[in-house]
Amino acid sequence: MIRLASPLGLLLLPLLALIGVWVWLHRREARPKMKYSALALMSGARPTLRSSLLGLPALLVFAACALMILALARPQGARNDKRFVEGIDIMLVLDVSDSMQALDFHPNRLEKAKEVVKQFIKGRSNDQIGLVIFAKDTFTLCPLTQDYNALATFVDNIKFGIANGDATAIGMGLSNAVDKLRVSKAKSKVAILLTDGENNAGRIDPISAAEIAKQFNVRVYTIGVGSEGGQVPIPNPGAFGPRFLRIEARLNVDELTKIAEMTGGQFFRATDDAALEKIYQRIDQLERSKVEVSETHFFDELGHHLMIPALGLLLLAFALENSWLRSFP
């Protein structure tokens, strides 16, 4: 595909044509005439190749001028570049129930998860990423987007109590994320579910949500957060300052493992800050798919390619007119 950056330059072509007609008529009138004593002397004469080509230098000059006018119009070539980029659709599914206040992560489970999630987002490119949160209720904080700055802002604004944190509806959170991914046209669709508890609320249980994810080809990675067994401290505000309660870890490892296996994903256990960081790095490495993207650029100037033959035609016309096709009055 060719486009002209300065098409007004083509207005010189009609002017060149008028000049050409004027020169042809003028040369015809100014053609030298020779008188012969008898026409019989010319009866056997035939035009030679040289005499037939006497007007060639003028034609070459006009052709060169036409090429230069086309060059002034700045023709530009559309270059199609095909490149491979890595892009998939990812929904982040984050538990924001009250148990995420536990202090076995620094400063607590939720804040550490938010920090690692933002690093994960920062490391991606060409992906569409969205965010779902859940506790007793579930909300889509951010639909699939490539505006990573806006997405990071949503992550920063996550607070306790935003989704009624006295229960954990894992199945509802996952099904919400799947609903956002089911209309996606991406070849690879992923949900990354992070929770520290077991499902104890919601109309859809986690296994049913996993079946829905499998139906829509959504691969689910599950991350279980929290110390293994025992009790963990959690702050509890009081009239005379915060007190610390100890809660029992209730992570359902078997269920999270089954969800991942059903959908072709993996289950990970994060028992401390470093482990959680490594898990997201691992998922980041696993979820890389190449997509061919065709891009069109209009930056290739073609005018200089016309100036070179135009110069060649001028030189050829000059050489012919002063050598083999040289004429005398």
What are the domain boundaries of the chain? Answer: 2-30+50-79+298-321, 85-290
Q: Which residues sit opposite 194 in a β-bridge?
A: 94, 223
DSSP characters over 164-187: -TTS--HHHHHHHHHHHHTT---S
pLDDT tier at 170, thresholds 50, 70, 90:
very high
- Kindly report the backbone phi and psi dihedral angles of residue 63, in degrees, each rounded to the nearest multiple of 5, phi listed first: -65, -40
pLDDT at 69 over 90: no
Q: pLDDT (tens digit, 9 = 90+) per residue, 201-256?
A: 999 999 999 999 999 999 999 999 987 666 788 887 765 666 777 877 788 999 99
Q: What is the pLDDT of residue 192?
A: 97
Structure-token pair, residue 96:
């924001």
Which overall architecture, per CATH, does domain 85-290 show?
A: 3-Layer(aba) Sandwich (3.40)
3-state class (DSSP) for residue 239: coil
From residue 295, alpha-carbon distances to 82, 112, 136 in Å are 6, 39, 45
Average pLDDT over the chain reads 84
pLDDT at 58 over 90: no
pLDDT at 77 over 80: no
Q: pLDDT (tens digit, 9 = 90+) per residue, 110-159?
A: 999 999 999 999 998 888 999 999 999 999 999 999 999 999 999 999 99
**Greater pLDDT, 31 or 232:** 232
Average pLDDT for residues 49-58, to the nearest whole number?
A: 72
